[in-house]
Amino acid sequence: PHLSEVIKSHHSHQGRGGATIQVELRDVDTGNKIVERFRTDEALERVFVEDKPFTYLYQEGDNVALMEPNTFEQLEVSKELFGKNAAYLKDEMKVTVQFFDGRALSGSVPPRVTCTVVEAQPNAKGLTATPQYKRVLLDNGLTVLAPPFVEVGENIVVSTVDDSYMTRA
Taking only the tens of pLDDT, the chain with its 169 residues reads 678 888 888 888 877 777 888 998 888 777 788 899 888 888 888 888 899 999 999 999 999 999 999 999 999 999 989 988 999 999 999 999 999 888 898 899 999 999 999 999 877 666 666 668 899 999 999 999 999 899 999 999 999 999 999 999 8
Provide the β-strand partners of residue 155: 116
> Quick check: 155 and 139 in contact, CB under 8 A?
no
Dist. CA 120–CA 96, nearest whole Å: 31
> Is the overall model pTM greater than 0.85, yes or no?
no
Backbone angles phi, psi at 35, to 5 degrees: -110, 125
Q: How crowded is residue 77: how many other Cβ atoms within 10 Å of its Cβ? A: 19
Dist. CA 40–CA 14, nearest whole Å: 12
Provide the β-strand partners of residue 78: 63
DSSP code for 17: S
pLDDT at 35: 92
DSSP code for 39: E
pLDDT at 8: 83
Longest Cα–Cα distance of the chain, Å, equals: 60
